[in-house]
Chains A and B, each alone.
Chain A
Amino acid sequence: MPRVTIQTQPFDWAQEVAQLHAQDSRVGAVCSFVGTVREYSPPAEQGAASSDATIANNIAYNAVHTLELEHYPGMTEKSIEAILDLAQQRFGIFASRVVHRVGVLQPLESIVLVAVTAAHRGQSFQACEFIMDYLKTQAPFWKKEHTPQGPRWVDARVSDDAALARWGVHAPNA
């Protein structure tokens, strides 16, 4: 099974995680993260500070009909492979897997899966978060939202750079 797959079609994350675990009896922890398409996107400046209450009230939020994901074929796979190598070295995880969708997606659909196996839960939680923080700011994907007001490219967030900086990695994106 490849470690990185970029695809337009949906993925079965339960199956992906089960396959990753496979028959590896060293594994004591399997951690996975699935990112999904929201129906509302936060306004550009307030994303990090916005609360769930704001989402519920739907005040300044933009309705999203569809999300379109563009990527840089070749570099995308290469950069995620490099991220997984880093995670492997840093946390001593056994196996890792990233599936990322591109093309046109609807609210509720899954966009990305990150899954890792490790001996202990701490490593697996950390590796999963590390991989996502890296991917969000260093892998060449771009989101375009289609809203009733028209299409708009999603802005990168400084809060995502800060998330990566927690790991001691300073590679600003936004």
Chain B
Amino acid sequence: MIRTTPFSAPAAPLSAPLSTPLTLQLKYFASLREGLGVAAETWHSHAPTLGALRQELAARGGAYAQHLAPERTLRMALNQTLAEADTPLQTNAEIAFFPPVTGG
């Protein structure tokens, strides 16, 4: 049985955040770490994917805009596993950005 209420619930104001931001632990390595001058930082984000997070970080400007620019070849890891731009984010994730690897 469906019951209808006489009054609709008040809509959330459009300016309110959609949800609690994700808390992410960011890590940078090698030439990227040197270029940013940062090895690790905590970041709060609403970005749905790794690729969106990269764009959001690049939008901070300065060294971030330069070193995370779309034409830079970078690899990404989510919780210490290589991941792609369309990989969804989860809160408390450890995210790493780094240049192509050169070990061995």
Q: Digit string of B19-60 for contact with A (CB within 8 Å is 1, else 0)?
A: 000000001011100000000000000000000000000000
- On whether A75 and B77 interact (CB within 8 A), knowing A142-B29, A153-B30, the answer reads yes
What residue in chain B is nearest A158 (Cβ atoms)?
B100
Q: How far is the CB of A167 from chain B (nearest CB, A)?
A: 15
Q: Mark B87-104, 1 if CB is under 8 A from A, else 0.
A: 000000000101111111
Residues 62-104 of chain B: 1 if any A CB is under 8 Å from the residue's CB, otherwise 0?
0000000000010101001110000000000000101111111
Contact B102 A142 (CB under 8 A): yes
- B98–A132 touching, CB < 8 Å: no
List residues of chain A with CB within 8 A of the CB of B29. 70, 72, 140, 142
Measured between beta carbons, the chain A residues less than 8 angstroms from B75 are: 173
Is A72 within 8 A of B103, CB to CB? no
Bound CA span A71–B102, Å: 10
Bound state CA distance, A170 and B31, in angstroms? 25
A65 lies within 8 A of chain B by Cβ:
no
Which A residues touch B100, using CB under 8 A? Answer: 155-156, 173-174
Determine the distance from Cα of A77 to Cα of B100 in the docked complex, in whole angstroms: 17
Bound-state CA distance A142–B30 (Å) is 6
Flag if B103 contacts A135 (CB, 8 Å): yes
The residue on B at minimum CB distance from A141 is: B103
**Contact between A135 and B77, CB atoms less than 8 A apart:** no
A72 adjacent to B27 (CB under 8 Å): yes
Determine which residue in B29, B99, B104 has the highest number of CB atoms from chain A within 10 A of its CB, and name it: B104
Range class of the B interface residue count: 10 to 19
Contact across chains for B101 and A142 when beta carbons are under 8 A apart: yes
| Beta-carbon contact of A79 and B82 below 8 Å | yes
Whether the pair B96, A141 counts as a contact (CB closer than 8 A) is no
A144 to chain B: closest CB distance in Å? 7
Of B80, B81, B103, which one neighbours A143 at CB under 8 angstroms? Answer: B103
Given A72-B98, A75-B96, A174-B73: A35 and B27 within 8 A (CB)?
Answer: no
CA A155 to CA B100, docked complex, whole Å: 8
Do residues A153 and B31 form an inter-chain contact, with CB atoms below 8 A? yes
Distance in angstroms from B41 CB to nearest chain A CB is 16
Interface centre among B27, B73, B80 (most CB of A within 10 A): B80
Smallest beta-carbon distance A4→chain B, Å? 13
The answer to whether B104 and A142 touch across the interface, beta carbons within 8 angstroms, is: no
What residues make up the interface of B, taking CB atoms closer than 8 Å to A? 27, 29-31, 73, 75, 77, 80-82, 96, 98-104
A78-B81, A154-B102 given; 12 more Cβ-contact pairs under 8 Å: A72-B80, A74-B80, A75-B80, A75-B81, A100-B103, A112-B104, A137-B101, A139-B101, A139-B103, A144-B30, A153-B99, A156-B101
